Amino acid sequence: MVSISVSLAEIKFSRNQEDIIIVHGLGSCIGVVIYDYANKLGGMAHVVLPDSSIQPNSPTPGRFADTAIPVLMDQFKLLGGNLMNSFVKIAGGSNMFKYDRLATLDIGRRNTESVIDALKKYNIVPLNKDVGGTSGRTVKLHIATGKIYSRMIGMQEKEL
C-alpha cells in the first residue's frame, strides 16, 4: 500500500486501488473527503481556516474553506468524478484551546460551519462527520474500498 499524505492547505486525489490518502494531526483543521464509489476516485482537502477574506488571492486555495471546496469539486469533476455516485465525509474541527468567552476564536467550530456551508452550494450534505472535541485526529481514505477511518489521539480508530 502507498500512503499519500495531505499537508496543510493541500488537496490530493487518487484512483490507484493500492493507495491510502491520509492526513495527520488535524486539530482545528478539517479533512474533507470525497469518494466516487463507481469510479473508485477519492480526494481529500486539508482545510486550515474558514474564510479567505484575510488573504484574498491566496496562492493556496486549499487553505480556506470557501476556496478549498470549489477547487476540490472542480478537480473531482475534471478527474471524472460523478457526484451522483459519491459521498462526502468530514473530520477535525477540534477546539484545541479553551476560550470561554470568545466563541469567535473557536477556529475548529468555525471551520466546520464554513466547510458545511461551502458544501451546501453544491447541494452536498456530509454523509458522516467526526468533528469537535479537544484532541487532534488522523484521517485515512482507502481508495480500494472507499472506507474512511478517523482516530483521535489516545482513542481507537473508527470508521466514518
Average pLDDT, the chain: 94
Bridging pattern class, strands 86-92 and 128-131:
parallel
Beta bridge pairs of residue 92: 30, 131
Residue 103 pLDDT: 58
Catalytic pick from 20, 26, 29, 116? 29
Counting every residue, how long is the chain?
160
Answer yes or no: are the C-beta atoms of 17 and 42 closer than 8 Å.
Answer: no
Residue 20 pLDDT: 99
Strand order in the sheet with 30-36: 11-14, 41-47, 30-36, 86-92, 128-131
Q: Residue type at 160?
A: L
Q: Is 78 a catalytic residue?
A: no
- Name which CATH class applies to 2-159: alpha beta
Convert the pLDDT of each residue in 86-104 to its tens digit. 999 999 999 987 655 555 5
Convert the pLDDT of each residue in 36-77 to its tens digit. 999 999 999 999 999 998 888 888 999 999 999 999 999 999
Domain range list for the chain: 2-159
